[in-house]
Amino acid sequence: MRYELYYWPDIQGRGEFVRLALEDGGARYVDVARHAGGEDAMLALMDASRVARAPFAPPFLKAGRSLIGQTAAILLYLGPRHCLAPPSEAGRLWVHQLQLTLADLVAEAHDTHHPISGSLYYEDQRREAKRRSAHFVAERIPKFLGYFEDLLARQPRGVEYLAGRAATYADLSLFQVVAGLRYAFPNAMARMERRHRRVAALHDRVAARPRIAAYLASPRRLAFNTQDIFRHYPALDP
């Protein structure tokens, strides 16, 4: 089966968490909205008055006849099919729980530059963005990274991923979050990474996985940019 991924064509965004799982899982997929007419097709599928089980927002995945929206739900589906989730129900719930925690962090990272509304430009909420970012950097990044650092510190020797010896989609997502935070807040992250060495090592370990390394070097991997969820504005990272 060839999956169809629907996401905005010019950003990594939340779609990137799905792309990383598809790439690491060796799945066949087409990134629909990057092709001619694909963005219109994507928007048409989100019309809940016409489409059964229409998703609320991108990303969503077409898998055979199923249409699956919400990043974490897509990963819940893909995980066991592509060796990116543990076999037991308890293990899968744990990985899903980690993913949902990362999703919370991603939403907060977005709101650092859009604390008032997604319908306004950053320039129209710069003062609030500066205030929110200061709290995000001082309180939230350390809280989230500290949590993952603690989880990794408890792993027995030789267990190098969050949920065991095998990587799961939560590990791929933590890689992406670290990469995004480094891009958006390079100064803050340079200060903080000394205290989160295990998280940084996990980032590197994921980046070195053969399929991920190939993906990152390919044109399929878009660059971070200031239209994305993680954005670098020097004023927000003094």
The residue from 30, 34, 128, 207 that contacts its own copies (CB under 8 A) is 128
CA dihedral 38, 43, 46, 47 (to 10 degrees): -130
Residue 123 burial (10 A CB sphere; 0-12, 13-18, 19+): exposed
* Phi, psi dihedrals of residue 55, rounded to the nearest 5°: -75, 155
Tell whether residue 69 is a contact of its own copies (CB under 8 A): yes
CA–CA distance, 127 with 125 (Å, rounded to integer):
6
Tell whether residue 120 is a contact of its own copies (CB under 8 A): yes
Question: Could you say which residues in the range 25-64 bind its own copies, by CB under 8 A?
Answer: 47-49, 52-57
The residue from 1, 40, 44, 117 that contacts its own copies (CB under 8 A) is 117
Q: Can you say whether residue 173 is alpha, beta or left, with left for phi > 0 and alpha for psi between -120 and 50 degrees?
A: alpha
The residue from 34, 82, 101, 232 that contacts its own copies (CB under 8 A) is 101
Tell whether residue 76 is a contact of its own copies (CB under 8 A): yes
**Given the rule CB under 8 A, which residues bind its own copies?**
47-49, 52-57, 66, 68-70, 72-73, 76-77, 90, 93-94, 96-97, 100-101, 104, 107, 111, 115-117, 119-120, 128, 131-132, 135-136, 139, 144, 147, 150-151, 153-154
